[in-house]
Amino acid sequence: ARKADQPAPPAPWSQRQPRAGHGGAAVRVFQPPEVVSAPEPQRLARPSPSIALDPPFMRMAAPNGMAWLQFVMASPTYVDARTGLLIGPWAECLSAAVCFEHSSDWRQLPEYVGRHGPAGGVVASLEAASAGRPDLRDLVQAAGRLEEPPR
């Protein structure tokens, strides 16, 4: 309960009215813009642990400290219509895997013996996690373009 000498809490942004400002001019309090509806990007289904946790790179830490697997499942991923490249968390993960392939001797690591390389494992996880999506082929092709060296 609020005491009589305490000010009332501010109204939510959506309920605030214009109020008198400095010098008597009316000041309009910020109101968030109306959201224009856009199609919601499809979220990837949670992959089965045996598929998605298998590639070693997906268990490594992303820059935010989460495992890459957790990071990629947090947001939708799609293909940029302008560039044809994968964008979103899977693109970040794949780019990091490509950098890891080029900056380390990953072939000597026991967790990669008999497996895909880091980038190949990420693409395999993307494919498994995207199973059932109508744009699966486009996602995998866009991911493949991220693996290619720049021209």
Position 14 pLDDT exceeds 80: no
pTM across the whole model: 0.64
Return d(Cα 111, Cα 106) in angstroms, integer.
Answer: 9
Return d(Cα 131, Cα 67) in angstroms, integer.
Answer: 21
Average pLDDT (124-132) is 91
How many structural domains compose the chain? Answer: 1
111 is in which domain, residue-wise?
A: 49-147
Residue 108 lies in a domain: yes
Note the pLDDT of residue 75: 82
Residue 137 lies in a domain: yes
Residue 96 lies in a domain: yes
Position 141 pLDDT exceeds 90: yes
Residue 36 lies in a domain: no
Residue 77 lies in a domain: yes
DSSP state for residue 5 in the 8-state scheme: T
Residue 23 lies in a domain: no
Q: Which residue has the tokens 């109101």?
A: 31
pLDDT digits (tens, 9 = 90+) for 80-125: 999 999 999 999 999 999 999 999 999 999 999 888 899 999 999 9
What are the tokens at 33?
């813009």
Return d(Cα 103, Cα 99) in angstroms, integer.
Answer: 6
